[in-house]
Amino acid sequence: AQSVSQHNHHVILSEAASLELGCNYSYGGTVNLFWYVQYPGQHLQLLLKYFSGDPLVKGIKGFEAEFIKSKFSFNLRKPSVQWSDTAEYFCAVNKEGDDKIIFGKGTRLHILP
Amino acid sequence: DAGITQSPRHKVTETGTPVTLRCHQTENHRYMYWYRQDPGHGLRLIHYSYGVKDTDKGEVSDGYSVSRSKTEDFLLTLESATSSQTSVYFCAMRQALRSDTQYFGPGTRLTVL
């Protein structure tokens, strides 16, 4: 069965710090990969996605993620975080052609002003 | 996203009572999903639908049933609510499997006393 692991459950950073959130998945075939963000009290919104092509994917709000197939990883990065990035971040994986998308348990990010 | 709504947004009910949550979309998307979100567990798939009258179980389907009689509506029913079903429930839609994104509804906060 597919699984998604997010290594950090809770991350606290100061504004302007660099961010990297880890995500690993277990499925070895062709996958589609997603990062979603959930701001306090809101629903999930797509940050970025990878389906094929350039493994470095750029998303909204200055976020990017790199797909490293050999490591089964899809880590999320941002060079300089802002207080408004305080949110919960979810990595998700979909096996190509499968109906289901499997989510990680989330990483709660808290940015100190 | 405006194209997908959930009702009710909040509900408090008692153990043993039946509860139905509604998800409504206006985008004519083929796929619809029900997730529950709990602290420390992220999002877990309850049931999903790949077309009218076509549904399948997710990873936490016990105690839940679904129905989809029209493309736009996907109902989640708790036949006899239990306190362990206290959660936030999110509906999502997806147009196609290949190279497509899930869009989430605003969520329903359900409390079972």
The residues, ordered by sequence, that sit 6+ positions from A88 with a Cβ below 8 Å of its Cβ are A37, A38, A106, A107, A108, A109
Inter-chain residue contact B48 with A99, CB threshold 8 Å: yes
Token pair listed for A60: 């909204």
Inter-chain residue contact A105 with B42, CB threshold 8 Å: yes
Question: Which pLDDT band holds residue A107 (cuts at 50, 70, 90)?
Answer: very high
Question: Which pLDDT band holds residue A17 (cuts at 50, 70, 90)?
Answer: very high
Q: Cβ atoms within 10 A of the Cβ of A40, count? A: 7
A45 to A42, B1, B6, B104: CA distances (angstroms): 9, 9, 16, 7
Question: Which pLDDT band holds residue A88 (cuts at 50, 70, 90)?
Answer: very high
Which pLDDT value is given to residue A99?
Answer: 80
Q: What mean pLDDT is predicted for residues B47-65?
A: 94
Count of the separate structural domains present in chain B? 1
Q: What mean pLDDT is predicted for residues A43-52?
A: 92
Check residues A96 and B73 and name the one with the higher pLDDT.
B73
What are chain A's domains? 4-112 (2.60.40.10)
B99 pLDDT higher than 60: no
Cβ contacts (< 8 Å) between A37 and chain B: which residues?
Answer: none
Question: Which pLDDT band holds residue B98 (cuts at 50, 70, 90)?
Answer: low
Inter-chain residue contact A100 with B42, CB threshold 8 Å: no
Cβ contacts (< 8 Å) between A48 and chain B: which residues?
Answer: none
The span from the CA of B103 to the CA of B19, in Å, is 24
B84 to A31, A62, B38: CA distances (angstroms): 32, 38, 10
Inter-chain residue contact A103 with B35, CB threshold 8 Å: yes
Q: What mean pLDDT is predicted for residues B73-83?
A: 97
Which pLDDT value is given to residue B2?
Answer: 62
CB pairs under 8 A between A and B: 54
B17 pLDDT higher than 90: yes
> Measured between CB atoms, which of A96, A100, A103 is closest to B42?
A103
Question: Which pLDDT band holds residue A27 (cuts at 50, 70, 90)?
Answer: confident
Q: What mean pLDDT is predicted for residues A73-82?
A: 97
Cβ contacts (< 8 Å) between A34 and chain B: which residues?
Answer: 101-102
B58 pLDDT higher than 60: yes
Inter-chain residue contact A44 with B40, CB threshold 8 Å: no
Question: Which pLDDT band holds residue B97 (cuts at 50, 70, 90)?
Answer: low
B39 pLDDT higher than 90: no
**What is the CATH number for B46?**
2.60.40.10
B100 pLDDT higher than 90: no
Look over chain A and give the mean of its residue pLDDT values, rounded to a whole number: 92
Task: Spell out which chain B residues touch chain A, with contact meaning CB-CB distance below 8 angstroms.
Answer: 31, 33, 35, 40-45, 48, 50, 56, 58, 90, 92, 94, 97-99, 101-107
Residue B93 phi, psi dihedral angles, 5° rounding: -130, 155
Residue A71 amino acid letter: K
Inter-chain residue contact A100 with B41, CB threshold 8 Å: no
The residues, ordered by sequence, that sit 6+ positions from A54 with a Cβ below 8 Å of its Cβ are none
Nearest residue on chain A to B55, alpha-carbon basis: A99
Q: What mean pLDDT is predicted for residues B60-89?
A: 97
Cβ contacts (< 8 Å) between B107 and chain A: which residues?
Answer: 43
Residue A96 amino acid letter: E
In the block, which residue shows the tokens 């350039």? Answer: A54
Nearest residue on chain A to B36, alpha-carbon basis: A103
A28 pLDDT higher than 90: no
Cβ contacts (< 8 Å) between B31 and chain A: which residues?
Answer: 99
Nearest one of B63, B29, B30 to B44, comparing CA atoms = B63
Domain, as residue range, for B45? 4-112
Question: Which pLDDT band holds residue A69 (cuts at 50, 70, 90)?
Answer: very high
The span from the CA of B109 to the CA of B89, in Å, is 6
